[in-house]
Amino acid sequence: MHWSWQRNLAAFAMLLFGACSPVYAQSQAAKVVKFKLEDYGWQPLPKQQRGEWAGMHSRLVSIDHEGRVLVGFATRENLSLANREHPGLSFHILRFTLEGKVDLSLVLPTNNLFTNGFYLGPNDQIFARANDTLQWMPEEDGTRKEDAAWWPLVPCPRNCHISQSPSHRTLTVSTYSKEMSERDYDRGTRTNTMLDASLSPPRVVQGCPHSGGIITDKFSYQSSDNISTDVRRWPICDQEHDVELPLDMRGGMVVALNDEALLLLGAGKDRRGLDLVSPNGQPRFHHEMPKHDVVTEEVRSDERGDRFAFTVQTWRGGFPALDIGGKVFAFRVVVYSETGQQLAAVSLNPQLANVSLNPYYYRQFDFSMSPDGHRLAILDEGVVTVVDIQ
């Protein structure tokens, strides 16, 4: 289902502002709309200080099966009444209709500003991470009530990482026994939990060993360690039966669009390779990004794996693949099809990527693709850009 832009220009007029980000599409110009979250209570987060580790990030923007955009952000509510037990912080989740109006507004208490997030299930159920807990909102007759009680599912403190399969049916929650700083790699032991989000209520499987990272509904995947060139996968929750896949990673990262289409991202010494292959190594397409471009590690795809989006940084000076100097002077989200065709490229503020090679140290940036692959939503410091792709 595509946005009814012509019918709803009046409704969007109040949301549009300024010039749209440059967007390039392979065929015709993509349709773009922006809106500000300041109108709905968004506040900028405090800057993360040097040496400070605020925790692992979570998803902050998503698109459901009806094309509605959901966005999450944390705010300070009442500083005068805040204390250690009740810090006065809230996590908000807003859902925008195709006409650009908010039809659902959820608020959860939380104990920090940085690690909150949400995930949509296969039937667009909402799983929220807030207050050190992954929570689920039950539905009645297919509808959600803003005052409905949230069900706690799994503890998820700031050293907790959530993975989700492309179908959204499977989520894994990995929690480390030790708190860590940005430079601390001794995370201690890890506890893994799997959730089957296709059931209501979700089925929770405790003690699911080594299930985090890149997952589908059937397998867990592990990228190369930069010493060997292998990729390994195993039945989810069963690493004892792992197998080596005949894929030459050359230092890149594997992303499973599905179990038959594996994306090798950032392969090669300059981190510019882009390959889509089958598990047996059969190539589907290879693309080399332009010189000075670096492919980052986060990928968003539709639920079939037909289309996918990722971020690209363009560097000037230095050698970013070896973490040597240089500066990002361009940053964009690009969308590709499974045939290797670039469908769209959206230019963003390059300051988003100057914090690190991984732009997700920047806490208010995220992007998402719709289940059908025809819509892209980008969250950038309180501004949401929605791109309709043919």
Gap between the Cα atoms of 123 and 149, Å rounded: 19
Considering the domain architecture, whether residues 141 and 169 belong to the same structural domain is answered as yes
pLDDT (tens digit, 9 = 90+) per residue, 263-320? 988 766 667 788 999 999 899 999 988 888 888 778 999 999 999 999 988 888 765 5
Considering the domain architecture, whether residues 81 and 204 belong to the same structural domain is answered as yes
pLDDT (tens digit, 9 = 90+) per residue, 213-253? 899 999 999 886 655 557 889 999 888 898 989 887 666 78
Percent of the chain with pLDDT over 90: 48
Considering the domain architecture, whether residues 379 and 303 belong to the same structural domain is answered as yes
Burial of residue 99, with CB atoms counted within 10 A of its CB: 0-12 exposed, 13-18 middle, 19 or more buried: middle
Domain boundary among 162, 188, 212: 212
338 part of a folded domain: yes
Considering the domain architecture, whether residues 201 and 230 belong to the same structural domain is answered as no
pLDDT above 50: residue 19? no
The angle subtended at Cα 321 by Cα 318 and Cα 326, nearest 5°, is: 20
Top-ranked range on mean pLDDT: pick from 16-30, 150-164, 228-242, 318-332: 150-164
Least confident range from 32-36, 72-76, 84-88, 357-361: namely 357-361
Q: What is the pTM of this model?
A: 0.85
Least confident range from 6-15, 223-232, 250-259: namely 6-15
Gap between the Cα atoms of 325 and 317, Å rounded: 7
114 part of a folded domain: yes
Considering the domain architecture, whether residues 102 and 193 belong to the same structural domain is answered as yes
Range of the domain at 68: 59-212
Query: Could you write out the DSSP letters of every residue in 206-218?
Result: E--TT--SEE-SS
51 part of a folded domain: no
